[in-house]
Amino acid sequence: MIPRWLLEADRRGLPATEVAVLVVGSGVAGLSTALELPPELPVLLATKARLASSATRYAQGGIAAVLAADDSPGDHWADTMTAGAGLCDPEAVRVLVSEGAAAVRRLQRLGASFDLEGGRLALTIEGGHSRRRIVHAGGDATGAEVERALAGAVRSAPNVTIAERTFLVDLVTEGGEATGAVLWSAGDAGGPRLVRAGAVVLASGGAGQLYASTTNPALSTGDGIAAALRAGATLADLEFVQFHPTALHLDSDPRPLISEAMRGEGAVLRDQRGAEVMAGVHPRGDLAPRDVVTRGMAARMAELGVDHLFLDATGVPAARLELRFPTILARCRAAGVEPTRDWIPVSPAAHYLMGGVLTDLDGRSSLPGLYAVGEAACTGVHGANRLASNSLLEGLVFAARIARAIPAAVPGRWSDAGTPAGEPFPLAQAAPDQRARDSRVAAGGGDRRIDGVRGQLRRLMTGRAGVLRSHDGLAAAAAGIIGLSGRLESVTAAGGRERWEVANLLQIGAALTRLAANREESRGAHSRSDHPEPVEAWRLRQVVTRRPDGGLDQGTIEVPAPEEARR
């Protein structure tokens, strides 16, 4: 059930701003959307932290695109379809792989600097790929470089107003359409504000904070996805959560990621005895799709009764490691591990949500006026398991498509570029002490009762709805979420952003566990100990919508047949 206090929020009398397009989120998807929109449309870009604080900056591996002479869109299509375990939308994948190279070239024109070898783009390979097609920057700092280039361009765009430290409370609907949102800004000039918009684009990221062990930053609380659910939009594929097999095994939140590209350069997964973990498990060994590697690691850890394994990169020349993975090496060394001579302790961590707001090929949701892009969206390209380095690509490709679709859909009353109608949106500057407080809030350092609910939810989801699931475990998770939702209801509404974030996580957790319990098979990132094999009858995608009473309705949609002509 959706919390009553969220559904009954009083929006009357709020100060209002009017813009052509409201974009929520400032990762690769949100920045790209704002940048690609026509300059005559006033855009408000709202982000709940700083402009450069999204999950994008943590992306290490790179961007998968067809850029080499020995590669083809057909090969990339086939690899993506295989990784998706029968649930990818073949037409969405065709769009992704055929428009990927142009997306990379656009980034280069904006000043993104990718690594070169011999004067050409350096390409690497990751799990599930049959070709070297991953472009990267700064060795293992691709996300940071992409975000730098896009953020710089957005800051220079005269039609884009940037609202930092601004939280999405809820979407506003009128007559069955999304017409804006209620935002809450921090600072003395902040507070709640109604933003009316011709189109709303959710680029607010995933929900990795559902799990106690995650590579996602504290900001990844599924705010846009939960708001879309409350507004009546259809969500899809929420049961598919990708656990990255190699996060640095530390007691930290988030866990530092050890890029799959390190295995692409020759690193090997080993157990405490030195045995190769993936030997005989899959033909591609350490470069098998992520779900296969994660399950192989989970099985070996259970067999040995340990909570981590090791990544052995000592066979990779030290100079190569220093060149390709400076960020990873620095993080390992800070933890007392020297990758050039030590095995790196690793364990799986929640990494990417394949599900989200169901969209068409132009980012339209089932709710008119509402679009979604990036990890908040479910375009169908990932199916049951995302192919490595397709996520940044998806954000770039579908942001451009949304930006082309919106002008024909929004009212034509905006002509003065860069000047929103109504009151200007308040852009408060954070004092140093306020920035510190925001950081503590993002990490869960406020109301202890809210922190307690959040912590229990994350442990519950990790133990009962994580890498390996079962009927009994998912039932326990569902019951636990109901109890935690009741506890949150009893907390005073003064909890603010912390309370909203936990409410959003509870809503997504409830939908996720429900769909996971219903899918009685193992497919891609969804693995059931009581149903260990895929079932052809379940080659369907599950969807969920909210009833007027706040409950959830489930449904299914068929997956189109992967016709060869679409390649």
Contact 85, 385 (CB under 8 A): yes
CA distance 373 to 404: 13
Q: Where are the beta strands (DSSP E) in 165-209?
A: 166-174, 177-185, 191-202
- 71 backbone φψ class: left, alpha, beta (φ>0; ψ -120 to 50): beta
Contact 222, 505 (CB under 8 A): yes
- Tell me the C-alpha to C-alpha distance, in Å, between residue 82 and each of 45, 73, 358, 507, 534: 36, 14, 21, 31, 14
Contact 383, 362 (CB under 8 A): no
Residues in the chain: 567
CB burial of 3-29 (b: ≥16 within 10 Å; e: otherwise) equals beebeeeeeeebeebbbbbbbbbbbbb
Q: Where are the beta strands (DSSP E) in 231-270?
A: 235-236, 241-248, 268-270
What radius of gyration do the chain's Cα atoms show?
22
CA distance 186 to 27: 20
In the block, residue with structure tokens 């899918």:
519
Contact 178, 171 (CB under 8 A): yes
Q: What is the DSSP letter of 375?
A: G
Contact 385, 525 (CB under 8 A): yes
Q: Which two tokens stand for residue 8?
A: 């009954």
Q: Is 106 a residue of the active site?
A: no
299-307 contacts at long range (C-beta below 8 A, 24 or more positions apart): 300/271, 301/347, 304/271, 304/272, 306/271, 306/272, 307/249, 307/347
> Could you say which of 230, 290, 331, 458 is catalytic?
290
Question: Which strands make up the sheet holding 377-378, listed edge to edge?
Answer: 377-378, 356-358, 235-236, 540-546, 552-558
Contact 470, 463 (CB under 8 A): no
Residues labelled catalytic: 290
